[in-house]
A and B are shown apart, each in its own frame.
Chain A
Amino acid sequence: MRQDASGTSILRRNPILNSLLIRKLEQYDRLPDEERQVLERMVARTAVVSKGEDMVREGDRPTESTILLTGFAARYNLLRDGKRQITAIHVPGDFVDLHSFLTKKMDHAVVAITPCTTGMVPHETIRGISETHPHLARLLGVSIAVDAAAHRQWIVAMGRQSALEHTAHLLCELFVRLQSVGLTTDHSFKVPLTQAELGDALGLSTVHVNRVLQDLRRDGLITWRGETVVIEDWPGLQQLADFDPTFLSLEVEPR
């Protein structure tokens, strides 16, 4: 990982990047201007992370939390025999380790699936927000709670759904999350994951993932070319996946 020589100027050049987190938190509740300004100021520096590089390592004790500004990242754990389980996929606007502010030592790592730009928010800044802006702190808490809710969904899918249903569920989740930060066009979105990476997220062999994607295509639910997924039959895909977006808490209400 290297520090962006221009510090946070990438954010001044591209204010849209900083607005993704604002947009994400606005899904949960209204944000007064003052809270928006706090969010706009909280990134102390930015960094560029190469594809395949860890942006947070297991065992680290981070003193800052990382927001993904561009690119895709994944939380993962490695087993002793080298097998990898991806436990979450992160898209721009996500904090990849906001929980490290509270839990201190990382029990998992976060890898850049694509080249990424990240914004670092010092834990001191988050502590300050928790003391001076309790409503904003609660919204950051919602973000941590939604991460946990997504893990529950993954456990249910992994434990009780067929590979086909589980894969459909992951695609539904990614679509709704990317849509919520404006990163979809109609029913089309980027999924820059290889079949091996999907297998690590789904707990499946690459061959089985390939087989399942062929079925989703054959059944007219999706098309997948290069990195672009198009959902051809959204109600059909949701029904197959038994997908209910409640776990994403995408309702504006007082929190």
Chain B
Amino acid sequence: MPRFYFDIREGTRFVPDEEGLEFDSLDAAEREAARAAAEIGRDRLPKGDARDITVELKNEHRQRVLTVTITMEIHRVDPEPEPPRT
């Protein structure tokens, strides 16, 4: 089974995967990358210490084969001033 590496970027922080994991297909590795990105995003994004999480999937030669990015965007909007009462 081919080995894949899952490097993680959280904002400016980079966490390389030294060991890698075996999956029987790229599709299976992609599902794992997507699941990991969603889980890490759920923990980290609401804290505000990063606004996006990227999992970079690399093949056994450490070549990048896909990336998954989870982004949180928060938009504050100024409400319209209330109309004057008549």
Which residues does A use to contact B, with CB under 8 Å?
A: 162-164, 204-208, 210-211, 214
Instruction: Decide if the interface of chain A is mainly helix, strand, loop or mixed.
Output: helix
Ordered by A's residue number, 21 sampled pairs between the chains whose C-beta atoms are within 8 Å are A163-B39, A163-B40, A163-B43, A164-B43, A204-B39, A205-B35, A205-B39, A206-B32, A207-B6, A207-B17, A207-B21, A207-B33, A207-B55, A208-B35, A208-B36, A208-B39, A210-B6, A210-B17, A211-B15, A211-B36, A214-B15
Contact check, A162 vs B43: say whether CB atoms are below 8 A apart.
yes
B19 CB-CB contact with A under 8 Å: yes
Bound CA span A177–B21, Å: 30
User: Contact string, B1-28, partner A, CB cutoff 8 A, digits 1/0?
Assistant: 0000010100000010101010000000
**Residues of chain A contacted by B39 (CB below 8 angstroms):** 163, 204-205, 208
Interface size range on B against A: 10 to 19
CB of B25, distance to nearest CB on chain A (Å): 15
Contact check, A205 vs B43: say whether CB atoms are below 8 A apart.
no
**Residues of chain A contacted by B33 (CB below 8 angstroms):** 207
User: Contact string, B39-70, partner A, CB cutoff 8 A, digits 1/0?
Assistant: 11001000000000001000000000000000
Bound CA span A205–B36, Å: 6
Bound CA span A18–B39, Å: 42
Contacts A162-B43, A163-B43 given; does A211 touch B21 at CB 8 Å = no
Bound CA span A164–B39, Å: 11
Contact check, A206 vs B21: say whether CB atoms are below 8 A apart.
yes
Bound CA span A207–B43, Å: 14
